[in-house]
Structure 1
Amino acid sequence: MDAQTSLPLAGRRVIELGTMLAAPFAAHILSQLGAEVIKVEPPRGDPTRALVRGGPSGTFIAYSHGKKSVCLDLASADGHAAFTKMLATADALVHNLAPKAARKLQLTKEDCEKINPKLVYCHIRGYAAGPQEDDLASNPVAEAATGVMEQNRINGRPSRLGPSYHDQFAGAYAVIGMLATMLQQAQGKPASNHVEIGLYETGLHVASRDLVGIQLKTQLLGKPEREPHGEFSMPGYGAYLTRDERWMYLLMLTDAHWLKFCQAMELPEARDESLHQLRNRKKERDRCEDIVKRAIGAVTFEQASAQLKAAGVGFTEVLPLERVLEAPQAHQPGKLREVGYRGYGFEVPEFPRLGADSDGVQTLPPPELGAHTREILQSAGLKPEQCDALVKSGAALVADGTTFPWAPVR
């Protein structure tokens, strides 16, 4: 048995009807686990194909390598009929269509179940069942509705975090649900083949620690008391500037961490028992923050690194994006995948797993729009002349290498 056929999802066919991030991210993980992922796109393509100077963005390159692309107009009768042929050959479908769009395109769970009763049907939507189930939502909407954005302010204005973490969490939760369903199927257990993930509900779950924490404070103190800022809930746990103006992020969660830090930096506070307990350090937050700030600011980054590492204190440098992949840790086997695209080369971080460097997942470049339309439709039972007719009518599209203006590197 070769490495590729031993992958957890080897032999599974997953159809992705995804735009932007949540569903494509879920399908990316399934691909990294060995599934054949077919990305079905409309004639205009996934919007992430045209976000950077008319061409693909980092989102598309990072999360669509390894996939195949079929381009169909699902609003046309012929395009929809071709899609149902494909659906009958699939093990799973993951999509993030708006509920109204899913109904309009006849791609609800009930519609798809008639075509393929064994299909694992996964819908990532704005809101799961409830009074808002038809409302639209995006990553920032989930942040706003679940308390994250209110705490993250720029110049006083509630602002999104930046990275679309809620989309990616939702995609990961979708994979967990799909794998659980597949496991139950394999064990012959009765189970619903329906997996439904809401961005809003994802946001609630991610925020559950803070939502429960505010309830706890309210019941203990009679009011919803908050820490001044999440960054400084524990003095010494944050970013501090070294003498040579490099930012160092310190991990100081426990009393032992505080003591190790003070000893490593040879501070007199190591002997100050009044600061040995977190409760007391919180009471003297400003003093403790000043102690740490002065200690780190008095030495270079390399000096601080040597002293803290020797003492077993957790820390890292706060890195800009352009330097992140310079770290030796990032270049250990199985951490990055070399992906080529139109003559450009990219180091793409892997879905983290043991054996990623030897499990046989193929390195396929991000597909051109419609690159596999004929191949996949014919594997689903359509004859070559039927594929020709679909392309001629505009119900399907095949790649011609001119879908965006980047010139290939010569």
Structure 2
Amino acid sequence: MSHKPLSGRRVIELGTMVAAPFATHILSQLGAEVIKVEPPTGDTTRALVRGGPGGTFIAYNHGKKSLSIDLTTQEGSDVFHKLAATADVVIHNLSPAATRKLGITASDLKKDNPDIIYCHIRGYAAGPQHEDLATNPVAEASTGVMSDNIVDGRPSRLGPSYHDQFAGAYAVIRVLATLLNPDPMAKDRDIEIGLYETGLHIASRDLAGVQLKTQLLGRPEKEAGGEFSMPGYGAYETSDKRWVYLLVLTDAHWAKLSRGLGMPESDDPELARLRERKKQRDRVEAAVRTAVGSLDYDTAITKLREAGVGFTEVLPLERVLEAPQAHQPGKLRTLDFRGLHFDVPEFPGQSSSDPGLPPPHLGQHTVEVLKELGFAQHECDALLNSQAVKVAEEHEYSWAAVRNDR
């Protein structure tokens, strides 16, 4: 087994749903020991699908240890602070109010461990909204993303929680930067990542673009995204009802596409330049739809490949992992969890996938971690009896049986 860059580092996660668990998932993939500290009720994602764990929990919590503590009790709080004294990093995405109430602010934990890297993923970083709450769709709404995604006339969230995941990735970048710093200052070890600020950074291209158009044209106008500004760049349906996405970004791409599919428009000098194709967008779009729609999928992709056109099939989720590309070394991790089998995508760049630990049961490693912290068996028993900590219970968070009525 190869030595990973964060081997020997201990990371404490106090998180739920996506942002913090996604950050610690990446750190775990880089070799860190991640101890997932959960309340007796567990991470919310443990009970999202028919009473059992959802895809979020399975995908982003394998390889971690679960320590279940009731932080509202003095005994539980004492255990957590003793654990914090042994850690390199703590990452959480609890609300500001809960953070103060539980006594786990940066200043609280630095009393236990002055060198700990403390990362709080929260709704808003410093500013007048510092105490406000935000979720992934709130970040989308407040940074311009949602205004572009109109469903049935109503601004709507994108669906996947990409802003949560970006915030988790930004947290990892900041943590790694601090670990690499040979002489970090105290402020470097106190990290705040706001979902709002994450959204701003993701939208920076569009925010700069609208400022550019306002100054050039005297009115706010959004720069069109590539798919909408370049005719022929998008998804088109074949005659056998499959969708292929074409990468037609340049004039050279257009020439390859139109000639490869034998389109009569290939010889039209008026369409040779993108500027002119934009002016005749409807004509170009109709021509590409007709050309692709006259071919079945296999014939279409043969012609596209021979012409050197970039493309891919638009796949439903249930077919994504059928692709041979997805099964190359280091791409997927095989997990067996509660009698079910999963192929879970790895953090990109892995050369191979170690079997590793499956997602932990709630409190599965509670006693193991307590003993490592120096608690004797009778002390562990006392903590368990007082319900300050919890161990895994058989059949807890089990999926309800699914009926397949036909």
Q: Helix, strand or coil: the match of 1:339?
A: strand
1:177 equivalent in alignment to 2:177: no
Which residue of 2 is the match for residue 343 of structure 1?
A: 339
Distance in 1 separating the partners of 2:334 and 2:328: 13
Which residue of 2 is the match for residue 297 of structure 1?
A: 293
How high is the TM-score relative to the length of structure 1?
0.95
Q: Helix, strand or coil: the match of 1:171?
A: helix
Q: Helix, strand or coil: the match of 1:374?
A: helix
The alpha-carbon deviation at position 256 of structure 1 amounts to 1.2
Q: Helix, strand or coil: the match of 2:140?
A: helix
Deviation string, structure 1 residues 166-217 (Cα, Å, up to 9, x no partner) = 0000000100000000000xx3454621121100000111111111111111
Contact 1:74 1:80 in 2 (8 A): yes
Which residue of 2 is the match for residue 132 of structure 1?
A: 129
1:307 equivalent in alignment to 2:303: yes
Amino acid at match of 1:223: R
Deviation string, structure 1 residues 70-100 (Cα, Å, up to 9, x no partner) = 0000111100000001111111000001111
The alpha-carbon deviation at position 235 of structure 1 amounts to 0.8
The alpha-carbon deviation at position 232 of structure 1 amounts to 1.7
Which residue of 2 is the match for residue 71 of structure 1?
A: 68
Which residue of 2 is the match for residue 208 of structure 1?
A: 204
Q: Helix, strand or coil: the match of 1:26?
A: helix
The alpha-carbon deviation at position 337 of structure 1 amounts to 0.7
Amino acid at match of 1:392: N
Amino acid at match of 2:121: I
1:401 equivalent in alignment to 2:402: no
How high is the TM-score relative to the length of structure 2?
0.96
The alpha-carbon deviation at position 259 of structure 1 amounts to 1.1
Which residue of 1 is the match for residue 156 of structure 2?
A: 159
1:8-407 equivalences in 2 (<5 Å): 8-184=5-181, 187-190=182-185, 192-226=188-222, 231-357=227-353, 361-406=354-399
The alpha-carbon deviation at position 271 of structure 1 amounts to 2.0
Q: Helix, strand or coil: the match of 2:24?
A: helix
Distance in 1 separating the partners of 2:315 and 2:253: 23
Amino acid at match of 2:275: R
Deviation string, structure 1 residues 150-170 (Cα, Å, up to 9, x no partner) = 110111111110100000000
The alpha-carbon deviation at position 407 of structure 1 amounts to 7.4
Contact 2:334 2:342 in 1 (8 A): yes
The alpha-carbon deviation at position 339 of structure 1 amounts to 0.3
Aligned-residue identity in percent:
64
The alpha-carbon deviation at position 229 of structure 1 amounts to 7.3
Distance in 1 separating the partners of 2:128 and 2:288: 49
Q: Which runs of 5+ in 2 are unaligned?
A: 402-406
Contact 1:66 1:362 in 2 (8 A): no
Query: What's the C-alpha RMSD, in Å, of the aligned pairs?
Result: 1.5
Q: Which runs of 5+ in 1 are unaligned?
A: none
Distance in 2 separating the partners of 1:226 and 1:128: 27
The alpha-carbon deviation at position 145 of structure 1 amounts to 0.5
The alpha-carbon deviation at position 227 of structure 1 amounts to 6.0
Distance in 1 separating the partners of 2:195 and 2:184: 28
Distance in 2 separating the partners of 1:307 and 1:158: 39
Distance in 1 separating the partners of 2:400 and 2:217: 63
Distance in 1 separating the partners of 2:74 and 2:123: 27
Contact 1:341 1:366 in 2 (8 A): yes
Deviation string, structure 1 residues 113-137 (Cα, Å, up to 9, x no partner) = 1111111111100100000011110
Distance in 1 separating the partners of 2:269 and 2:375: 78
Distance in 2 separating the partners of 1:221 and 1:258: 29
* Number of equivalences: 400
Amino acid at match of 2:274: L
Which residue of 1 is the match for residue 404 of structure 2?
A: none
